[in-house]
Amino acid sequence: MQNIAIIQRQSPFNSGDGREALDLILALAAVEHQLTVIFCGDAVYQLLTVNQTSDFPLKRYQQGFKLFGLYDIEQIYVCQQSLQQRQLGSADIAVDAKQVSPAQLQQLLASQQQIVCI
């Protein structure tokens, strides 16, 4: 079992990278890797609360994050600086993610065996 960090940086609005990252995360978790999921930059938009009655295309995508608990993915982080730059806060995100500073993020990454940036 390896400690693997998945860093998501892409907005959910202009590519399928976020959805592909979700598929990768779930696949790695299924083979019992210890995962750390980090949302930085425009990827914080993936965590926004979406009205479940709307036809907004992120609805199904966001529901996939609910699977993290089933796959024992408990280390979920969001870059505090990225949230602040986009004028977002804890109340705006739908996933229980711990906010970390850039310095804390560097320490977190130093403890990983593999790092995948998407």
What DSSP assignment string belongs to 19-77?
Answer: HHHHHHHHHHHHTT-EEEEEE-GGGGGGGB---TTS--TTHHHHHGGGGGTTTT--EEE
What CA–CA distance (Å, rounded) separates 100 from 115? Answer: 17
| 74 beta partners | none
- Whether 34 shows a pLDDT value over 50: the answer reads yes
DSSP reduced 3-state for 10:
coil
pTM: 0.89
- In this structure, of 38-42, 45-49, 102-106, the range with the lowest mean pLDDT score is 45-49
Mean pLDDT over the full length of the chain: 88
pLDDT digits (tens, 9 = 90+) for 80-92: 999 999 999 989 9
Mean pLDDT of the region 98-112: 95
CA 42 to chain centre: 11
Residue 56: band (very low, low, confident or very high) from pLDDT cuts 50, 70, 90: low
Contact status, residue 88 vs residue 44, Cβ threshold 8 Å: yes
- Whether 99 shows a pLDDT value over 90: the answer reads yes
- Whether 53 shows a pLDDT value over 60: the answer reads no
User: What backbone phi and psi angles, to 5 degrees, belong to 58?
Assistant: -85, -5
| 48 beta partners | 93
